[in-house]
Chains A and B, each alone.
Chain A
Amino acid sequence: MKTFAYSRAESPEAAVAAGGRFIAGGTNLLDLMKLQIETPESLVDISRLDLAKIEEREDGGLTIGALVPNSDLAADPRVIAGYPVLSRALLAGASGQLRNKASTGGNLLQRTRCYYFYDKATACNKREPGTGCSAIGGVNRILAILGTSEHCIATHPSDMAVAMRALDATIVTLKSDGDRRRIAIGEFYRLPGDTPQIENVLEAGELITHVELPTPPKGEQLYRKVRDRASYAFALVSVAGIVSVEDGKIASAALAFGGLGPMPWRDPAVEAALIGQAPSDAAFAAAADALLKDAKGYGTNDFKIPLTRRTLIASLRELTGVSA
Chain B
Amino acid sequence: MSTTNALKMDKPVPDSLLDTSTQGIIGKPLDRKEGPLKVSGAATYAAEYQIENLAYGVLVGAPFGKGKITGIDSDVAKALPGVIDVVTDFDKFLTTPAQGLAPKAPQGVENVQYFGEIVAIVLAESFEAARDAAQQVVINHEAADDGRYDFEALKGEAEKPAKGDIPSHFSQGDLDKAMTDAPVTLDVTFTTPSQNSAAMEPHASIATWDDSGMLTLHGSYQMPGNDVEQLAAALGVSKSKVRIVARYVGGGFGSKLGIAPESVAAALAAKALGRPVKAVMARQQVFDATVRRSNTEQRIRLAATADGKLTAMGHETLTSNLPDDDYFEPTGQATHFMYAAENREINHDIVRLDWLLSGSMRAPGEAVGMLALEGAMDELAEKLGIDPIEFRKINEPEMDPEKGVPHSSRELVRCMDVGATSFGWDKRNATPGTRREGEWLVGIGMAAAARANMLQPSEARVTLSATGRATVETDMTDIGTGTYTILGQIAGEVLGLPLEHVDVELGDTNFPTAAGSGGSFGAGSSGTSVYLAAEAIREKIAKAMGVDVDALTLKDGHAVADNRRVPLGELAGEGIVAIGSIKPGKQEKEKTQSSYGAHFAEVGVNAVTGEVRVRRMLGVFAAGRILNAKTARSQCLGGMTFGIGTALTEDLIHDPRNGKLVNRDLAEYHLPVNADVPQLEVEFLEERDIHANPMHAKGIGELGISGAGAAIANAVYNATGIRVRDYPLTLDKILEGLPEL
Contact = CB atoms under 8 A, between A and B. Distances in A.
B736 A306 contact: yes
Contacts of A188: none
Interface in A42-101: none
Given A2-B132, A314-B741, A226 B609 contact: yes
Contacts of A182: none
Interface of B: 63-64, 81, 115-116, 128, 131-132, 135, 439, 608-611, 613, 649, 653, 655, 657, 660, 662-665, 667-668, 670, 672-676, 730-732, 735-736, 738, 741
Given A1-B132, A2-B132, A36-B135, A230 B731 contact: no
A6 interface: no
A97 B194 CA distance: 30
A310 interface: yes
A229 B128 CA distance: 33
A233 B676 CA distance: 11
A118 B665 contact: yes
A230 B676 contact: yes
Contacts of A2: 132
Nearest to B439: A314
B24 to A, nearest CB: 42
B405 to A, nearest CB: 44
Nearest to A34: B131
A139 B613 contact: no
A226 B611 contact: yes
A163 interface: no
The interface residues of chain A, by DSSP majority, are classed as loop
Contact of A115 (B439, B668, B674): B668
Contacts of B736: 306
A115 B667 CA distance: 10
Please give me the 5 A-B residue pairs with the lowest Cβ-Cβ distance, nearest first: A121-B63, A303-B732, A230-B675, A231-B675, A314-B608
B123 to A, nearest CB: 17
Given A1-B128, A228-B730, A229-B675, A307 B735 contact: yes
B732 A307 contact: yes
A119 B658 CA distance: 14
A137 B150 CA distance: 14
A162 interface: no
30 contacts: A1-B128, A2-B132, A3-B81, A3-B128, A113-B668, A118-B665, A119-B660, A121-B115, A121-B660, A134-B655, A138-B662, A139-B663, A142-B668, A228-B649, A228-B670, A228-B730, A229-B649, A229-B670, A231-B673, A232-B673, A236-B731, A281-B741, A303-B731, A303-B735, A306-B735, A307-B610, A307-B735, A313-B741, A314-B608, A314-B741
Given A113-B668, A233-B670, A226 B731 contact: yes
B655 A139 contact: yes
Contacts of A122: 660
Contacts of B128: 1, 3
B653 A307 contact: no
A120 interface: yes
Contacts of A34: 131
Contacts of B115: 121
Contacts of B672: 229
Looking at B63, B608, B675, which has the most chain A CB atoms within 10 Å of its CB?
Answer: B608
Given A121-B64, A138-B662, A230-B673, 19 more contacts: A1-B128, A3-B81, A3-B128, A115-B668, A118-B665, A119-B664, A122-B660, A138-B657, A139-B653, A226-B611, A226-B731, A229-B672, A230-B676, A231-B673, A231-B676, A234-B667, A307-B609, A310-B738, A311-B609
A118 B131 CA distance: 16
Nearest to B131: A1
A229 B657 contact: no
A301 B391 CA distance: 39
A138 B655 contact: yes
Contact of A310 (B608, B613, B663): B608
Interface size class of A (residues with CB under 8 A): 35 or more
A324 B741 contact: yes
Interface of A: 1-3, 34, 36, 113, 115-116, 118-122, 134, 137-139, 141-142, 226-234, 236, 281, 303, 306-307, 310-311, 313-314, 324
The winner among A1, A231, A232 for most chain B CB atoms within 10 A is A232
Contacts of A141: 732
Pick the most buried of B128, B611, B674: most chain A CB atoms within 10 A of its CB. Answer: B611
A310 B670 contact: no
Contacts of B610: 307
B607 to A, nearest CB: 9
Contacts of B63: 120-121
A78 B593 CA distance: 64
Contacts of A310: 608-609, 735, 738, 741
A230 B662 contact: no
Nearest to B677: A230
A195 to B, nearest CB: 25
A196 B277 CA distance: 42
A113 B670 CA distance: 14
B140 to A, nearest CB: 14
A134 B658 CA distance: 11
A107 B135 CA distance: 27
B703 to A, nearest CB: 25
B132 A229 contact: no
Most central of B613, B664, B665 by chain A CB within 10 Å: B665
B61 to A, nearest CB: 8
Given A3-B132, A307-B735, A115 B609 contact: no
A313 B660 CA distance: 38
Q: Which of A1, A113, A228 has the most CB of B within 10 A?
A: A228
Contacts of A281: 741
A118 B667 CA distance: 11
Contacts of A1: 128, 131-132
Given A121-B115, A139-B662, A230-B676, A307 B731 contact: yes
Contacts of B676: 229-231
A259 B685 CA distance: 47
A142 B131 CA distance: 29
